Amino acid sequence: MSTRATDTTAPAPLLELSGLRKEFGGRRTNVAVDDVSLDVHEGETLALVGESGCGKTTLTRLLLGLLEPTAGRVRFDGQDLAALTASELRGVRRQMQVVLQDPYSSMNPRMRITDIVAEPLVTHEPDARGRRARARTRERVGELLEAVGLDAGIQDRYPHEFSGGQRQRVSIARALALRPRLLVLDEPTSALDVSVQATVLDLLADLQQRLRLTYVFVSHNLAVVAQVADRVAVMSRGSLVEVGEATAVLRTPRHPYTRRLLDAVPVLDPRRGRRAAERASLPAPEANR
């Protein structure tokens, strides 16, 4: 952790992005991310919103250390990603995991659930490899499946045997395998039916509390954002145009772009924020959908 001479009371942010820029080459340079500075604090959900192509996924790939910035810096837990050795970077990266919109495309259909969930363990932990580790790894996979509301007994089945919601739970289990501190959720429920979406959002809220996770939640669905976000960052054409408390940004957007974004969602009632969602007793997660 970095210590700050100027402020001894507030903890340093878990994630600090400063002056991030990403250009993609070609004959005409495309600036996908333009001078983005943003802090994400431990335990919060920061929603990243903005229209398609505005740079949300590129920004998440920069913060995960999967893309190298053209300029600017990413610090995770006080450590500058660009200053780390390859093995240090691996150590930091395992603390940040990602869940994507379409889990099916990132799952090998010929792999059993057990091997899909165990993949990060086997990759990162020598102890989890080999025949002697098998029983212990299966036990750990069983715990992970149960933590996401699935039956530990599904380990020998294949992804196509499950519904979209169940597959998304499997990919959340895989993302949790290395006990990360930060999850990047890039449109995690956008491909799901509304009722299933609600159960997965519920699961994510529950996991966040139990495991003290920090979420960067990318979504273009502002109704979902109103439900999950503590803070909202609004992106337009590569830049952040507004960052603030979710209720403030959604109720009284300051930037014209945010107002236009909100105007496009007539059903949204920003008073139904996260606290309201917690009070309204949401249905228990249902694994069998």
Ligand X SMILES: Nc1ncnc2c1ncn2[C@@H]1O[C@H](COP(=O)(O)OP(=O)(O)OP(=O)(O)O)[C@@H](O)[C@H]1O
Contacting residues toward ligand X, per CB under 6 A: 24, 30, 32, 50, 52-58, 220
Tokens of 65: 């250390």
CA-derived radius of gyration, the chain: 19
- Residue 96 has phi, psi (to 5 degrees) of -125, 120
- Which range in 57-65, 80-88, 109-117, 269-277 contacts Mg ion by CB under 5 A? 57-65
In angstroms, what is the minimal distance from the CB of 107 to ligand X? 20
Distances in whole angstroms, Cα of residue 166 to Cα of each of 102, 163, 207, 287, 288: 12, 5, 16, 7, 7
Report what 54 binds from ligand X, Mg ion, none; CB cut-off 5-8 Å by kind: ligand X
- Which range in 8-16, 53-61, 77-85, 176-184 contacts Mg ion by CB under 5 A? 53-61
Report what 24 binds from ligand X, Mg ion, none; CB cut-off 5-8 Å by kind: ligand X
Is 233 within 8 Å of 47 (Cβ atoms)? yes
Residue nearest to Mg ion (CB): 57
* 58 binding Mg ion? (CB under 5 A): no
Tokens of 80: 């500058």
Give 231's strand partners: 46, 245
Is 45 within 8 Å of 208 (Cβ atoms)? yes
Looking at beta carbons only, is 30 or 195 nearer to ligand X? 30
Looking at beta carbons only, is 56 or 181 nearer to ligand X? 56
Looking at beta carbons only, is 75 or 220 nearer to Mg ion? 220
Q: Of 29, 17, 28, which is closest to residue 69 (Cα–Cα)?
A: 17
Report what 55 binds from Mg ion, ligand X, none; CB cut-off 5-8 Å by kind: ligand X
Task: Strand 79-80: give its sheet, edge to edge.
Answer: 30-40, 15-24, 71-76, 79-80
* 57 binding Mg ion? (CB under 5 A): yes
Looking at beta carbons only, is 32 or 113 nearer to ligand X? 32
Looking at beta carbons only, is 96 or 118 nearer to ligand X? 96
| Cβ partners under 8 Å of residue 92, min gap 6 | 65, 76, 77, 79, 81, 84
Binders in 159-218 for Mg ion, by CB under 5 A: none
In angstroms, what is the minimal distance from the CB of 186 to ligand X? 7
Report what 169 binds from ligand X, Mg ion, none; CB cut-off 5-8 Å by kind: none
In the chain, DSSP assigns E strands to 15-24, 30-40, 45-49, 71-76, 79-80, 96-99, 182-186, 214-218, 231-236, 239-245
In angstroms, what is the minimal distance from the CB of 67 to ligand X? 8
Report what 137 binds from ligand X, Mg ion, none; CB cut-off 5-8 Å by kind: none
* 60 binding Mg ion? (CB under 5 A): no
Looking at beta carbons only, is 57 or 214 nearer to Mg ion? 57
Q: Are strands 71-76 and 79-80 parallel, antiparallel or unpaired?
A: antiparallel
Residues of this chain that interact with Mg ion (CB under 5 A) are 57
